[in-house]
Amino acid sequence: MRYGYFDNEHREYVIDRVDTPVSWTNYIGTKDMCGVVNQTAGGYLFSGSSEYHRITRFRPNGVPMDFPGHYVYLRDEADGDFWSVSWQPVSKPLDQAKYVCRHGLSYSKYLCDYRGIHAEQTLFVAEDDPVEIWDVVIRNDSNRVRNLSAFSYCEFSFHQIDMDNRNFQMSLYAAGSRYADGIIEHDLYYEEDGYQFFTSNFEPDGYDCLRDAFIGAYHTERNPVAVERGVCSGSAELGGNHCGSLQKRITLQPGESVRLIFLLGEGGVESGKVMRQRYANAAAVDEQFEKLRLFWDKKLEKLQIQTPNDGMNALINIWTLYQSEINVIFSRFSSFIEVGGRTGLGYRDTAQDAMCVPHSNPDKCRQRIVELLRAETRAGYGLHLFEPRWFEPEQKQQSFRSPTVIPTPDRASIVHGIKDACSDDALWLVVSVAQYIKETGDFAFADERITYADGGEESVYDHLRRILNFSAEQVGQNGICKGLRADWNDCLNLGGGESTMVSFLHYWALDHFVPLAEKLGRSEDATYYRAMAEHVKDVCERVLWDGSWYIRGITADNRKIGTHTDAEGKVHLESNAWAVLSGVASKERGEQALRAIQEYLYTPYGIILNAPPYTKPDDGIGFVTRVYPGLKENGAIFSHPNPWAWGAACALGDGKAAMTFYDALCPYHQNDKIEVRQSEPYVYCQFVVGKAHTAFGRARHPFMTGSAGWSYYAATEYILGIKPDYDCLSVDPCIPADWKEFSVTRVWRGVTYDIHVTNPNGVTCGVKRILLNGAPVAQIPQLSAGARCRVEVELG
């Protein structure tokens, strides 16, 4: 069963059945202002932090679902019938009204046809201003004159989400609204500069600033009393619940259309006046929309592929890059699942996000890397969850103490001890820095001086050394890295027990660091860390091999986890994928590890994390043993580690396995199986329910997941094999033998490489020759910026 289709030409996913089983979301905004909206215009807007700077209200996990949103109602003045431009809130029966939603890159468009009126509402954030634009077009497709009223509606939120949800004795009396000259101002009275405005490019015929006046007692957003009776009440007050509703009466001749622009922005009435003026002419709106299109053009053109796999083409060329960027730009705590309960940056997630898209967003990746380095302790571990502003050199503080503005905690309480450190967190950053320099050639970054969370400052390079040293020191009784609070798997809580995955990760980080040290001329360090890597490899191969696969770890009381005698949690994905991906496993052991993944963990919807799932609590292993079998970390198809197995398969030259794994998880390929998947087919979800559960195949928690960046990285660098290096671009694909050819256009350091790979002998890997503009080369060099060149690669 399908609910929509991919419109690749317009870079949109078109939902032509809007009653999807669960919310299908999208993100608008490319800077600080961000909206999370679904296929019915439900959702919310915030600026910077969805926890501390929420702009519009959302009632998450509610019944009915996904209310409220950023809505436009239409009312036929002839008979009082009313509907909404997006299917919700009014929810006209779908056999009477035609609804479509087009989710695009940082915009969503809602289209409706009802009783001869065609209406469209496009939501996006201006590139140049902190303002959400609602671009509304209403057209009379009937053959009679129509008198209509349009009403906007959004519900303002108290900035701090916790107080908004549960401290009404304060929140209801600390916000006010007023209206003047076509502008609604929402005022958060306890905050300096705590204002929003809602305005339009037309003279309104009515307004309501008070939610309860617009909606009416015992009514809901489905049937607001103002829309029912056809007139707003002109409400505004200091204190209460506030909304943005402007009414416009319109008369349309047959075939005539009107365009209404609504603006929801940061700042008070003065900002509203400026924006009202700036966007008075719809051409200014068109200009911002065009800028948004160019913003994405510039990113997407950095890497475009043409392969025999349509799903891979659509995802890599559009959706997976988009999803990865959304994670880098907005991090992880704003969705319909994460609704403002947490804020800041998760150390490991951010490091991995920044690792995957330095080609399309070098500035943001660099910014994230710097934020992470500042949140590193001198001991070499990262603060698991932190607010970047805690460590910014200049902190803007409000000039008076307000109960609603959360003060920055003092350093001592911010810097957690090793007990709360996760053993993997900072290791990822070593590779993020290496990737960033390989992409940009910005070697000077390694020497940049950056503070530590607990005081002092050193170069980026020295920060990385401390990270590697920390893992070398924090080993358990068998010489494997301690698991500490958790490793990548939040629910594997080994404390002083040992984590296979972290030792492999340590090796991988070292393997990235040594060439960087060499490149920077630090040959003593290169020798030292090369020896460290060899030592890690030896210990891993001695301790972690179980005969047919690698164990997942060792408990503090020295019991193996994931061994052949285990009835539960016998085989784990992370350890076996990382054994190969890291470069630790020999070919023979690596192939056996891959076979274990195929035999025990592979399903048609992707690879499950561990099998069989745990049913008996074992606190020596961790919380994973208390999670329902088949869900989340206990036997679900956790999406984020799946690409690790694609990379592992490629490292072994098994292009068939890599593509089988890729296709299984690929949401595109589930477009016609929504009765099973339920969630959006254009993005990866955090997990897909595993086979031990009755809901096998159901995907949950879209967008905010490390599977975005990792699937992009694994597909482009391992499967398609396009890898930037310090001074060359390497091409080393691993593909199914039946792929005859594929092409990639890759922009690297300002040069466009048009790469065409042919596979005349039907191999899976191995480069026979490379021609650069027709001349044979051993590797693809960096050319002068601005050049465009042709690269022909023959496999064989």
Instruction: Measure the CA–CA gap between 631 and 700, rounded to whole angstroms.
Output: 10
Amino acid identity, position 349: D
Q: What is the DSSP letter of 316?
A: I
Taking the least distance from each CB to ligand NOJ, the nearer of 349 and 568 is 349
Preceding peptide of 407 cis, ω within 30°: no
Closest CA to 480 of 537, 412, 547: 537
Comparing C-alpha atoms, which of 86, 151, 155 is closest to residue 123? 86
Residue 363: exposed, middle, or buried by beta-carbon count in 10 A (0-12, 13-18, 19+)?
Answer: exposed
| 8 Å CB contact between 28 and 124 | yes
Phi then psi for 28, rounded to 5 degrees? -120, 150
Looking at residue 132, its amino acid is: E
Strands 571-572 and 560-561: unpaired
Nearer to ligand NOJ, 325 or 349 (CB): 349
Residues whose CB is less than 8 angstroms from the CB of residue 723 and which lie 6 or more positions away in sequence, other chains included:
717, 729, 730, 731, 732
DSSP letter (8 states) at residue 600: I
Nearer to ligand NOJ, 317 or 471 (CB): 471
Other CB atoms within 10 Å distance of the CB of residue 457: 14
Q: Which element (helix H / strand E) includes 744?
A: strand 741-748
C-alpha closest to that of 409 among 394, 430, 389, 423 = 389
List all residues 6 or more positions away from 752 whose beta carbon is below 8 Å from its beta carbon.
Answer: 745, 746, 787, 788, 789
Give the 3-state DSSP-derived string for 689-711, with helices as H, strands as E and coil as C. CCCCCCCCCCEEEECCCCHHHHH
Interface ranges with ligand NOJ (CB under 6 A): 346, 348-349, 488-491, 633
Give the nearest distance from C-beta 638 to ligand NOJ in angstroms.
6
The rounded radius of gyration (Å) of the Cα atoms in the chain is 27
Minimum distance from residue 435 beta carbon to ligand NOJ (Å): 19
In terms of CB distance, is 250 or 505 closer to ligand NOJ? Answer: 505
Which CB atom, from 368 or from 669, has the smaller least distance to ligand NOJ?
368
Decide if 225 contacts 233 (C-beta within 8 A): no
CB 28 within 8 A of CB 35: yes
Report the DSSP beta bridge partners of residue 482.
Answer: 498
Minimum distance from CB of 406 to ligand NOJ (Å)? 22
Q: Which is nearer to ligand NOJ, 88 or 471 (CB)?
A: 471
Ranked by CB distance to ligand NOJ, the top (closest) residue is: 490
Task: HSE, CB side, 13 Å, CA atoms: give it for residue 34.
Answer: 26
User: Of these residues, 205, 212, 490, 754, which one is catalytic?
Assistant: 490
- CB 486 to ligand NOJ: min, Å: 7
Q: Which is nearer to ligand NOJ, 489 or 500 (CB)?
A: 489
Place of tokens 């810097």: 415
Could you give the CA distance from residue 701 to residue 347 in angstroms, rounded to a whole number?
A: 20
382: left (phi over 0), alpha (psi -120 to 50) or beta: beta
Q: Which is nearer to ligand NOJ, 100 or 329 (CB)?
A: 329
Tell which residue, 471, 390, 469, has the closest CA to residue 425: 471
Nearer to ligand NOJ, 347 or 461 (CB): 347
* Strand duo 751-758 + 788-795: pairing: parallel
Phi, psi of 41 (to 5 degrees): 70, 15
Return the number of the residue (41 or 573) whose C-beta is nearest ligand NOJ: 573
Strand partners, 286: none
Q: Give the chain's length.
A: 796
Nearer to ligand NOJ, 320 or 327 (CB): 327
Minimum Å distance from CB 278 to ligand NOJ?
39
DSSP 197-247: EEEESS--SEEEEEHHHHH-TT--TTS-HHHHHT-------BSS-EEEEEE
Taking Cα atoms as reference points, which of 183, 272, 190 lies closest to residue 239?
A: 190
CB-based contact 246:207 (threshold 8 Å): yes
Helix, strand, coil % in the chain, rounded to nearest 5: 30, 30, 40
Amino acid present at 288: Q
Q: Which is nearer to ligand NOJ, 155 or 633 (CB)?
A: 633
Element (DSSP H or E) covering residue 120: strand 117-125
Strand, coil or helix: 610:
strand
Q: What phi, psi does 660 have (nearest 5°)?
A: -65, -45
Contact 170, 281 (CB under 8 A): no
79 is catalytic: no
The alpha carbon of 573 is separated from its chain's Cα centroid by a whole number of angstroms, namely 23
Q: Which is nearer to ligand NOJ, 392 or 490 (CB)?
A: 490
Residue positions annotated with a catalytic role: 490
